[in-house]
A and B are shown apart, each in its own frame.
Chain A
Amino acid sequence: MLIDFLTQVSKWAIPLILICIPLYGSLKKVPVYEAFVEGAEEGFVTAVKIIPFLVGMMVAISVFRASGAMDHLVKALSPLLTAIGTPAEVLPLAIMRPLSGSGVLGLATELMRVYGPDSFIGRLASTMQGSTDTTFFVLTIYFGSVGVKRYRYSIVTGLTADISGLLASIYICNVLFR
């Protein structure tokens, strides 16, 4: 019930926002189209500003992955995760999660294709994917868009979020779906 409701919310959210905000704006006598263009211009500038930061980060991560170094890291960390109830198939996903958004989405899709979305592996992969974020990507573009170069402790906080999200996913899936 609640879940059906949430799915509907997700489906309707954008169309509703697109109609309600301009309508309300025009009621408030805002010149809606002019205001829209004014705001949109800002979006362009911001997106272009991110490029150098994103190039730097994506090149480093891509080299790390393509060289096979990522696989070694996965192998080194896997005993740790297997010990707490993670199937070996899901390990690369868990370990690569903070680094590579598209790579991990590809992995999750592959796991669901091979094992089925309703298998334990499929459900765990889904939960992990939905519960964590590509922290490095987020930090790179958010800080990059305003030109901040020193991130201070935010990397530690972001990784804490990812690791706790992963561990909580493993725990709850073992409880619910095992």
Chain B
Amino acid sequence: MLNVIWLALLAGGVLVAALDGQVEVVTEAALGAARGAVEVCFDLVGVMALWLGIMRIAEKAGLVEALAWGLRPLMVKLFPSVPPSHPAMGAIILNLSANMLGLGNAATPFGMKAMRGLQELNRDSDEASEAMCTFLALNTSCITFIPATIIGIRASFGSANPTEIVGATIFATSCSMLLAVTVDYLFRTRSCWGRKNRAD
């Protein structure tokens, strides 16, 4: 699936540029983006190190475990393939909490930590496991109580009430979370997209 999308983006781009007689745009965009991608990763290095460092302290103090224990009944339902006391559970909870509070740059490191935990349990390390798919469904659709970035932008343009959209985002993200979890559940339980059915 990703192979098809990736190819379609590239081929579509080159084709349109060629038809418009400005094919050189492609070269510039491709090289610029390649450099930009590395910059994004290096921006991440510091933030990742900070949050994973703090998280390690929390783990050693038993905080992460305590948090995971509290939400255990729900987590076991969402992630039946992950042992309830597995460290990935704690990282998933931290990632989703950070998302809900609009702390985007804290969410990413916790998310990667969770993925690493889930990868330990994965049977085929090249292919996404069910638990990974569920986690990403929750992550991308996650209910947001505080859309921090956008509130900041609204305030900077002199909005009379920068936070007035909070109710609307809570509504919209509740809808998307509900739907994403349902779709994920359907795929997971009655999937024709199972591991045996490989597109590539």
Contact = CB atoms under 8 A, between A and B. Distances in A.
A158 interface: yes
Interface string A1-42: 001101101100110011001101101101010011111111
A62 B39 CA distance: 15
Secondary structure at the B interface, as helix, strand, loop or mixed, is: helix
Interface residues of A, number: 100
A18 B25 contact: no
Chain B interface size band reads 35 or more
A164 B173 CA distance: 9
| SS of A interface (majority) | helix
Contacts of A161: 137, 140-141, 176-177, 179-180
A100 to B, nearest CB: 10
A21 B150 contact: no
Interface of B: 1-2, 5-6, 9-10, 12-17, 20, 22, 25-26, 28-30, 32-34, 36-38, 40-42, 44-45, 47-63, 101-103, 106, 108-109, 111-113, 115-116, 118-119, 122, 125-128, 132-133, 136-137, 139-142, 144-151, 153-154, 157-169, 171-173, 175-177, 179-180, 183-184, 187, 191, 193, 198, 200
B117 to A, nearest CB: 9
Contacts of A169: 168-169, 172
